[in-house]
Amino acid sequence: MIAAPVAASPPAPEGPGLIASMADLCGHVCKWPIGDPKAAGFSFCGRPTDGADPYCAGHGAAAFRPGKRALLAKDPVIRRVLAGLAA
């Protein structure tokens, strides 16, 4: 059996952010915090997003990873219980 190829997620951007102030954040820029909020060099990524997510493609891949919840959803016993709750 041949496994389907898995699309590689884009790498998160490196380096300093493009936006230094929370007041400058708007709806279509990445809101990924970079650095320590208490430090002078703190910034936000600021790279473009698709508007549906708060992060650019690279930071979105780092932020949203399937975890135990995704594994539990595949368990047949858990699926039966959840199906019974939905009915």
| Confidence tier at 29 by pLDDT (50, 70, 90) | very high
Better-scored residue on pLDDT, 31 or 1: 31
Q: Is residue 65 part of a domain?
A: yes
Angle subtended at Cα 12 by Cα 10 and Cα 14, rounded to the nearest 5 degrees? 135
Query: Residue 84 has which token pair?
Result: 């019974």
Q: Is residue 17 part of a domain?
A: no
Predicted confidence at residue 7, as pLDDT, reads 57
Give the total number of structural domains in the chain.
1
Q: Is residue 2 part of a domain?
A: no
Domain encompassing residue 27: 22-86
| Confidence tier at 31 by pLDDT (50, 70, 90) | very high
Q: Is residue 9 part of a domain?
A: no
Give phi and psi for 73, each to the nearest 5. -65, -20
Q: Is residue 66 part of a domain?
A: yes
Q: Is residue 62 part of a domain?
A: yes
- Is pLDDT at 76 greater than 60 in this prediction? yes
Summarize the confidence of residues 32-54 as an average pLDDT: 89
| Confidence tier at 69 by pLDDT (50, 70, 90) | low
